[in-house]
Chain A
Amino acid sequence: MAVVAAPPVEDGWLESLRDGDQMVIRLGGALTTRHVAPVDDTLRGLDLSAARRLEINLKGLSGFDTAGAWLVHRTRELVRKGGGSVTLTGASAAQLALIEAVADNVQPCPPAPAPGSSVVRLVAHVGRATLELGAEARELVSFLGQTVLALGRAMLRPGRVRATPLVYHMEEVGLNAVPIVGLLSFLIGIVLAYQGADQLARFGAEIFAVNLVGVGVLREMGVLLTAIIVAGRTGSAFAAQIGTMKVNEEVDAMRTIGLDPMEMLVLPRVLALLLTLPLLGFFADIMGLLGGAVMASWVLDISLLQYVRQLQSAVSVSSFWVGLIKAPVFAFVIGLVGCFEGLKVDGSAESVGRKTTQAVVESIFLVIVLDAVFSILFSIIGW
């Protein structure tokens, strides 16, 4: 027997003959998964209720598999339930065996649960999301407590802080972020200077664009922008790193050999961010001002000397501090959320992706909310 490369391609077909309460169904062609559809449609349209004696003839079949066997079995059962008798003719031993194998194993699975009305689902979804949000917030606060405790322990005994991971993360989080943070702040400085000058030119007050750049970059944009970049860059990395370790059971392995994941994983990351984000923020301030200066001298005909003089009158050291004081807070929140979501990964690779996304969204959200809170606070105390 040679290898048959091409399977039968003729679609299955069906002929039915009715004579009183006798009925003959002749099946032919390929009754296989791929070619069974037309026969199924015809069979479903056939009225079998009157048939007392049904003969199913399989002689004309060129192909037969589970799908065909199921159709034969289904038809047979239908007639038998109606009180009729069924005979199979023209079937090979293998075909009969397959029909029996299907008959032995078929079991109607429960249908997929109905989705229910859309209003109910919407309400249920909102309710569930709210509960989850509440639970998430509670857990985050408890994680905040644990982290603060770990930080406190580390301060009491600085020797416990692991230097190697700390330095590694400082490089990863701080040093490696310098180019992107610098470039984006520089560009924001340019945009602020240009947009400001464009509007202020109507009053002939282009020079005040320098004030706009100075106050805007130092008080808000420099640190906020840095925090958002770091949240996207580092918050996601923390969640993914710790999440992957969770999937690999590395975190559990740590616990079994008596190492505290808070101390091993969370502390170095949060500390690294606490130390480097203010530095990055400072760098972003400088680059933003530089961007403004370039734009001013290039397009607005404000010389560098004029720019510096105007800047000096526009901003004081306090506006610099007002911006930079937020940096450690943002750093703490980003590190906290990144590690928190990473530790919440539940073992599947899919949840690593989900938690990583959540870490980024949550930390950017919290950073902007905190920034708004700071603005209100500073306006109350009059800074």
Chain B
Amino acid sequence: MGDRESVIDVRKLRNQFGSQVIHDGLDLSVQRGEIMGIVGGSGSGKSVLLRTMVGLTKPRSGEIKVLGVDVAKARGGDRALLQQRSGMLFQDGALFSSLTVAQNIQLPLKEHSRMSPGLLVELTDVKIGMVGLPLDAANKHPSQLSGGMRKRAGLARALALDPEILFLDEPTAGLDPIGAAKFDQLILELRRALDLTVVMVTHDLDSLATICDRIAVLIDKRVIVGTMDSLMRHRHGWIYEYFHGPRARAINRGRKPTKAKGKRAAGPGGVSDGNTG
């Protein structure tokens, strides 16, 4: 854990649409192997930040290095290579609607390798298995799948080229709690198996608490990065409200027993100690 390199480095990022400044002097670095959650209020530019990191939105100024390559300046071969080394899951999967799930997964494989049709089919089976899709989903069209299955299929496509970095845009939005929890576990498993670095925009406090190693909170056009615990103690008004609101409280109740060690001073354990003593 100690010799972590940073795979994404954002320096002095500025994003601006017309006169509206979204990000200003934003710095963020993501280390290899971690799961970084990005949160923020509506319109704070979470998705814009993600899109800028992937290279879909050009920043006004600043530098974004992904795997050592400047995303905004990379051209030709560098850029193609970068795209193959990172994968993105869009909010509703963004599967190509005219292709079946299997064809969706095979498309990047066909485009970027010279493998035989036999191996193509076998690798598709592996990817479909790894994201936990049922067998018969392979030959279905995206419109025949449920929202959760579309996300899994989108994830399989994002993983087709075995990327090192995975970008997720609200991976659990629109899933029922069981499906969302399963998806969280899936991301954890894939991270372990494939040694992935994951950057995810999410509003799901459960996801943040269970799978994110660190959380970047977008506030005042910059980010404040911390672990769940350190952010819980942060005094900034919005952050406090976010992590202590009625919805957060339920999750924190479940967390405290396991995390009590680090928070003895303020935790409920301290209170109960006082009562019994």
User: Which A residues are within 8 Å of any B CB, using their own CB?
Assistant: 1-5, 7, 32-37, 40-41, 44, 65-67, 70, 74, 94, 97-98, 101-102, 105-113, 348, 350
Contact = CB atoms under 8 A, between A and B. Distances in A.
Given A34-B112, A106-B125, A98 B3 contact: no
A37 B68 contact: no
Interface in B59-90: 67-69, 81, 84-85
A66 B124 contact: no
Contact of B135 (A4, A33, A110): A110
Contact of B139 (A40, A94, A105, A112): A112
B202 interface: no
Interface stretch (B40-48, B126-134, B165-173, B234-242): B126-134
A1 B5 contact: yes
Interface centre among A33, A74, A97, A108 (most CB of B within 10 A): A33
Nearest to B82: A5
B97 A34 contact: no
CB-CB nearest 6 A-B residue pairs: A101-B193, A65-B162, A5-B68, A105-B129, A109-B138, A3-B68
Contacts of B153: none
B81 A36 contact: no
A7 B68 CA distance: 11
Contact of B109 (A7, A33, A41): A33
B188 to A, nearest CB: 12
Contacts of B143: 348, 350
Given A33-B162, A40-B119, 15 more contacts: A3-B7, A5-B68, A7-B85, A33-B112, A34-B161, A36-B115, A37-B116, A66-B123, A67-B119, A105-B129, A107-B125, A107-B128, A108-B125, A110-B138, A348-B143
B94 to A, nearest CB: 12
A350 B195 CA distance: 37
A113 B139 CA distance: 8
Given A70-B126, A109-B124, A40 B116 contact: yes
25 contacts: A1-B3, A32-B162, A33-B113, A33-B123, A36-B115, A36-B119, A37-B113, A37-B114, A40-B116, A66-B127, A66-B194, A67-B115, A94-B195, A98-B194, A101-B192, A102-B126, A106-B129, A107-B125, A108-B135, A109-B102, A109-B125, A109-B128, A109-B139, A112-B100, A113-B139
B193 A98 contact: yes
Interface in B225-266: none
A133 to B, nearest CB: 23
A106 B126 contact: yes
Contacts of B123: 33, 66-67, 70
A5 B98 CA distance: 35
Q: Which interface residue of A74, A101, A110, A350 has the most chain B CB atoms within 10 A? A: A101
A15 to B, nearest CB: 20
A366 to B, nearest CB: 29
Nearest to A35: B113
Contact of A105 (B126, B162, B195): B126
A37 B123 CA distance: 12
A131 to B, nearest CB: 21
B139 to A, nearest CB: 5
B60 to A, nearest CB: 25
A202 B219 CA distance: 84
Nearest to A107: B129
Tell me the dominant secondary structure on chain A's binding face.
Answer: loop
Contacts of B68: 3-5
A27 to B, nearest CB: 15
B136 interface: yes
A109 B130 CA distance: 12
Q: Kindly name the residue among B85, B125, B136 whose own CB sees the greatest number of chain A CB atoms within 10 A.
A: B125
Given A37-B113, A105-B126, A5 B161 contact: no
A107 B162 contact: no
Contacts of A98: 193-194
Contacts of B119: 36-37, 40, 67
A65 B195 CA distance: 10
A5 B164 CA distance: 12
Nearest to A5: B68
Contacts of B5: 1-3
Most buried by B among A98, A107, A113: A107
Interface string B173-193: 000000000000000010011
B6 interface: yes
B273 interface: no
Given A3-B68, A37-B114, A44-B118, A350 B97 contact: yes
Contacts of B113: 33-37
B87 to A, nearest CB: 12
A101 B130 contact: yes
A151 to B, nearest CB: 35
A1 B5 CA distance: 6
A198 to B, nearest CB: 49
B252 to A, nearest CB: 33
Interface string B1-24: 001011100000000000000000
A106 B85 CA distance: 23
A74 B112 contact: no
Contacts of A3: 5-7, 67-68
A105 B135 CA distance: 11
Contacts of A36: 113, 115, 119
B1 to A, nearest CB: 13
A105 B61 CA distance: 44
A138 B132 CA distance: 43
Contacts of B130: 66, 101-102, 105
A37 B21 CA distance: 47
Contacts of A110: 135-136, 138-139
